[in-house]
Amino acid sequence: MAFPGRRVAVFVDGAFWHGRPDRVRPGRSAYWDGKIARNRKRDLANDAALRQEGWRVLRLWDDEVLRDDSIALRVKRLLEPFRIGEFFAGIGLVGLGLEEVGEVVFANDIDAWKYRLFASNIDPSNYVLRDVRDIRGGDVPDLDLATASFPCTDLSLAGNRRGLAGHQSGMFWEFARVLEEMGERKPRAILLENVPSFATSHGGQDLRDAIFRLNQLGYACDLLLLDARYFVAQSRPRLFIVGSQQKFDFPSDWSKSPIRPAWIRDFVVSNRRLVMQALPLQPPEANGSPLSSCIERLSADDGRWWNKTQVIDFRTSLSPVQARRLRSLASSEEVSWATAYRRTRHGKAVWEIRHDSISGCLRTARGGSSRQALVEAGDGIVRVRWMTSREYAALQGAPGFRIPDDIPENRALFGFGDAVCVPVIQWLGRHYLRPLLEGQFSPSKARQEESYA
């Protein structure tokens, strides 16, 4: 279904023909595997082409349409979009995750390579390639929601831990400045994303300072911890701050839960004069795709596989426990995949293979992090190589994202490693941000405190 005036495209896909994991068993036959793979490839190419032309895309499953009355509401929401500003937009994955919430009418980043990846997939006409320090409130159009995935370099455990005083993570203050300069036009809601160690930076003072500043701007704040492994084969916990100019008229429940662990409750209790509120939310159901669904099937003679010497060095660095794990994978009759990463143990760099068949957190070269390797093993064979940017895209929930041939591989890896996981943002948009903006939670008439500690 096409809505040209709103530039919205809605597809209803047959679950079998378009490869939904619970309806398709890989290996059924070479014919069906090939046919379904071609269908999925065509779907991804169509989505990317539409988005590049400024369309928003919604894909629904056939049985979903038949049994779920809320589907009509999801389509209606696409036709009545809220206005979104995406600060620190990078390659644009936050905007893709919020397609059911609204339309990105302003995006900003400083990295030209990320802009090129963005522009290869999404209409770039609203993208401002400029240092956020040069952005003024008057440069930003009216917004309902502003998002900010500001740099984690100074907050990460692998970084320098300078926190919000650092050159990179200190860009939070620039985002807050822009909001202040917007005056009465400030967006009704904001969404900030960063690493969990934001909460422990400088003994929690950085998080206190950030929420205090947002309170000064009129936002009551919620805290959530969400892991990408709920949705994809990647362990990627991230801290989210949701700020709202509305005050909920029901008491907040900060009880321990998978998305609000005990430390969040303790933080709230220890900072009672901060204006905070918790929306009652059920944690997402774990429905992550298997790692095998994200792997590029490279032939044995592909030059990206490590040579014999590199594989020997890899195996030599393994501890006895890791070596047994690899032998177990290799001795299986079926080929399987696992991710591996380097760790420093007793002052020596060694390789370790994950035991849980998912990827570790995709990272960038900044902050002391390194790329992950992929191990393919089975039937007595062991192959090792670096993970590809296509695999990074799939693990971030954006398998159809276009990566132009002239984009260097390390730039593409950096773009995805520095981005968000699309299904996590989709979940937040569907269960929190859209209901919030639609006013499903009545604002309290109680006056907010005028001073904050």
171-113-96 Cα angle (round to 5): 75
pLDDT digits (tens, 9 = 90+) for 147-160: 999 999 888 766 56
Band of pLDDT at residue 286, cut at 50, 70 and 90:
confident
pLDDT digits (tens, 9 = 90+) for 387-445: 999 999 999 999 989 999 999 999 999 999 999 999 999 999 999 999 999 887 654 43
Segments of 155-274 assigned E as strands = 189-194, 220-227, 237-244
- Helix count and strand count (H, E) for the chain: 14, 14
First and final C-alpha spacing in the chain:
53
Are the beta carbons of 100 and 58 closer than 8 angstroms? yes
Query: 8 versus 70: which is more confidently predicted?
Result: 8
pLDDT digits (tens, 9 = 90+) for 24-71: 776 667 788 888 889 988 998 898 888 888 888 889 999 988 888 778
Are the beta carbons of 85 and 106 closer than 8 angstroms? yes
Q: Does residue 73 surpass a pLDDT of 80?
A: no
CB environment 169-204: b (16+ within 10 A), e (fewer): bbbbbbbbbbbeebeeebbbbbbbbbbbbbbbbeeb
Q: Does residue 358 surpass a pLDDT of 60?
A: yes
Percent of the chain with pLDDT over 90: 71
| Mean pLDDT value of segment 349-359 | 91
CA–CA separation, 101 and 146 (whole Å)? 12
Q: Does residue 451 surpass a pLDDT of 50?
A: no
Are the beta carbons of 356 and 227 closer than 8 angstroms? no
CA–CA separation, 285 and 230 (whole Å)? 7
Band of pLDDT at residue 370, cut at 50, 70 and 90:
low
Residue 93: CB atoms within 10 A of its CB come to 29
**pLDDT in the model for residue 158:** 63
CB environment 127-160: b (16+ within 10 A), e (fewer): bbbeebeebeeeebeebbbbbbbbbbbbbbeebe
pTM beyond 0.75, yes or no: yes
pLDDT digits (tens, 9 = 90+) for 174-185: 999 999 999 999
Segments of 228-322 assigned E as strands = 237-244
* Nearest Cα residue to 135 out of 193, 190, 82, 174: 174
**pLDDT in the model for residue 365:** 54
Please list the residues that pair with 109 across neighbouring strands.
Answer: 129
Q: Where are the domains of the chain?
A: 2-63, 82-288+416-437, 297-387
Q: Which CATH class is domain 2-63?
A: alpha beta
Please list the residues that pair with 106 across neighbouring strands.
Answer: 85
The tokens for 354 are 């994950």
Domain 82-288+416-437, CATH homologous superfamily name and number: Vaccinia Virus protein VP39 (3.40.50.150)
CA–CA separation, 93 and 421 (whole Å)? 7
pLDDT digits (tens, 9 = 90+) for 337-350: 999 998 888 888 89
**pLDDT in the model for residue 5:** 81
**pLDDT in the model for residue 442:** 54
Residue 448: CB atoms within 10 A of its CB come to 12
DSSP string for 70-117: THHHHHHHHHSPEEEEEET-TTSHHHHHTTTTEEEEEEEES-HHHHHH
* Nearest Cα residue to 8 out of 73, 76, 109: 76
CA atoms within 13 A on the CB side of 82: 26
